[in-house]
Structures are given as C-alpha cells and as structure tokens.
Amino acid sequence: MILLASPPSEFGGTVGFDFTASSRTPLGLGKPRYPVDVLSALVSSLCASPNQRAMKPTEEHEAAWQAFAQVMRFNSSAVKYLQISELDEFPVADKRGRKMIDGWKINWEGKIPPEWDNGNGSMHGAQSAWLVDVCTSAAILLHTTDEFWGPPLRAGVSLNINMTYYHPAIIGTDILVEVEVLKCSATTANLSCNILEKGTRKLLASGTHLKAWRPINRSKM
C-alpha cells in the first residue's frame, strides 16, 4: 500500500526529503526539503513530449523512481539496487485528466544484494513481494494526474497481491523486473510483475497486484 503527499502548485529545488522525526507530517510522511513536491513535478514533466515505444529511461524517470521510494519510506533503501532499464511511451491524458494505460510496460534491472538474503543464500520471499508491490505501484504512479490515481491516494491502495515462486533467486544474481498494466480503469487496476534472471530469463518469481483508487472529492480517508 502506497500513500504519498499531495502536490503543491510549483516545482523547484532538487530531489531530496527530510525524514527526521521533527519533520514528519500527521500522516507520518517525510516533508520535502524544499517548499515543493518534487515527485509530483517530476511525474508531471514525464509526459511533456511524446517518445517512441519501449524507450530508454531519462534522468527524470530515474529521479521520479528514487523520489517515490524516499517518500514511501518502508524498505526504501532497497530501491538503490534497482534502476529503470526500459519503459513504454507515455499516453496523453484526455479532457477529464484520465489516461489509457492498459498494456503499458516498464522494466527494471539490478543485482540481488546480501541484505535480501533469507538465510539460505537466496532472496527472501517477502522481498520478492515487496518488488512486486512497489514496482507495480510505480507503474501507476508515473501516470497520475489530479483526476487519475492522484492525491491523496496517489497510485491507489492494495486490495490483493498474489505471489508464485519458481526458483531460488541466489544472492548476487543479476535480475530483471518486468511490469505490465493489464487493466486500469478510473478506480481499479490489475498489474503483473515477473522477476527473472537477467542472463537466462529464467522466471524466478511472479506476482499480480489488484489496486483501488478514489477521486479526492469522494475519498473518506
């Protein structure tokens, strides 16, 4: 479940968040070091110009991914081991601020670090589930507008995550994380995530994620 702060009206400064105890909001979220929501501005800037399908990530894409993890806070240190490797072009929002993102894909690559060890020399199953949760949520986050999966429940909340484990993911293995938005309406989204060995594309684990979202004027949270 991912919850991010609401965006202010302007963009400035650099990516960075202060998570000291004195800076925490009533929701328990860290506040930006600057009087702006860097993440929201980054997400908005990603759709500024059309690109070819399956494009390479830009610095802005990677910055949005890293900022997302910092705001999330739980296990945020794990994000440094993953980098966006490829993603589809960004669809344009319609007059209502909504987007058609069915079939949209994004991939990450990285190396399984010792911190993810389950005690038997392979990645802990809970860490695999975290990858599925966070990477699928990021696939929604990158498309949010005020009218489409936006604040205060940016990228929505989790209803269900199903995991299947196929092979041990040995510590030190180079991996790919491939995410697809299977179906995304104005209120619910179904996403899939495969975790593969990079060199062989052997499937290590997979998961599906069902998410829900409410517009701000109907949210009771």
pLDDT tens digits, one per residue of 168-212: 999 999 999 999 999 999 999 999 999 999 999 999 999 999 999
User: Would residue 133 count as lying in a domain?
Assistant: yes
User: Would residue 13 count as lying in a domain?
Assistant: no
Q: What is the pLDDT of residue 198?
A: 97
Query: pLDDT band for position 44 (50/70/90)?
Result: low
User: Would residue 40 count as lying in a domain?
Assistant: yes
User: Would residue 161 count as lying in a domain?
Assistant: yes
**Full domain range(s) for residue 77:** 32-212
Rounded to 5°, the CA angle 76-135-55 comes to: 120
User: Would residue 11 count as lying in a domain?
Assistant: no
Cis omega (within 30 of 0) on the bond before 35? no
User: Would residue 48 count as lying in a domain?
Assistant: yes
> Does residue 83 contact residue 108 with C-beta atoms inside 8 Å?
yes
**Cα distances (angstroms) measured from residue 196 to each of 101, 175, 191:** 23, 5, 17
- The tally of domains found in the chain comes to 1
Domain with residue 147: its CATH number is 3.10.129.10
For residues 22 and 160, the model is more confident at 160
User: Would residue 10 count as lying in a domain?
Assistant: no
User: Would residue 38 count as lying in a domain?
Assistant: yes
Whole-prediction pTM: 0.76
